[in-house]
Homo-oligomer: A and B are copies of this chain.
Amino acid sequence: MIYSSELIKGTLKTIVLKLLADNKKMYGYEISQKVKELTLNKIQITEGALYPTLHALEDEGLVTVETEFIGKRVRKYYSLSSSGKSKTKEKVNELADFMNTMKFLLDIKTKTA
């Protein structure tokens, strides 16, 4: 099962930031594979979503970029800036709070069958 795409909306940036917080330094393709792996294929980030998101994070100053060449192939490593680190905490906390609220909403009268 892959989650319907609407659910991912709004959480992608937070996911990317959190992965960078945990792994210090990652490149785009690596991020997409890591998410796929960690979620047992339930969340698959498309390239069309991921790369624009990384560019946006860069524009906002939340990540820094280093380009590396593996042979002739390019890799762009992303790392959190200091503002990126605090932003990550904010976003993760907000999402955790949101999930608790949603859990509460969805649990009301669970016995309604």
Contacts and interface: CB of A to CB of B under 8 A. Distances in A.
Contact of A108 (B1, B38, B95): B38
A46 interface: no
Interface string A1-16: 1011111111101110
Contacts of A38: 104-105, 108
Q: State the copy count for this chain.
A: 2
20 contacts: A1-B94, A3-B97, A3-B98, A4-B94, A6-B11, A7-B10, A7-B11, A7-B98, A8-B10, A10-B10, A14-B106, A22-B108, A22-B112, A38-B104, A39-B101, A92-B106, A95-B106, A96-B103, A99-B99, A99-B103
